[in-house]
C-alpha cells in the first residue's frame, strides 16, 4: 500500500525544522542540509533537495529526541 505524503515526509527534516532545532537562520539550515546530503551522496545514498533523513541528521549532529507521555499526549524534547 502506498504511503501518504505526510507519512513519507515524517521521515525527513526540512530547513524550517533544522533552523528551529538548532536556533539557526533558515539560510544556514539549507547550508547544513546541502552538506549532509553531499555526505550521503558520497556514500552512495539517494538524496532529496531541501530535506535530510531525520535519523541521519540526529546521528550526525548528536541530537537525542526524548519522548514523554503527559496527559495522554506525546511530548518530544530535543537534547
Rounded CA separation 25/11 (Å): 22
Q: Which pLDDT belongs to residue 41?
A: 97
Q: Which pLDDT belongs to residue 75?
A: 55
Q: Which pLDDT belongs to residue 3?
A: 44
Count of beta carbons in the 10 Å neighbourhood of residue 6: 7
Rounded CA separation 23/20 (Å): 5
Q: Which pLDDT belongs to residue 78?
A: 57
pTM listed for this prediction: 0.70
Q: Which pLDDT belongs to residue 2?
A: 47
Angle at 45 between CA 13 and CA 22, to 5 degrees: 25
Please report, for the chain, the start and end positions of each structural domain, with discontinuous segments joined by +: 5-78
pLDDT in tens, 19-74: 998 899 999 999 999 999 999 999 999 999 999 999 999 989 887 666 556 566 65
Give one DSSP letter per residue of 19-37, joined into a string: HHHHT--HHHHHHHHHHHH
Amino acid at each position: 500500500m502506498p504511503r501518504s505524503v505526510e507519512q513519507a515526509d515524517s521521515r525527513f527534516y526540512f530547513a524550517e525544522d533544522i533552523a528551529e532545532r538548532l536556533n539557526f537562520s533558515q539560510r544556514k539550515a539549507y547550508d547544513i542540509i546541502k552538506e549532509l546530503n553531499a555526505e550521503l551522496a558520497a556514500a552512495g545514498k539517494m538524496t532529496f533537495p531541501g530535506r535530510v533523513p531525520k535519523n541521519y541528521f540526529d546521528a550526525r549532529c548528536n541530537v537525542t529526541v526524548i519522548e514523554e507521555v503527559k496527559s495522554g499526549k506525546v511530548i518530544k524534547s530535543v537534547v
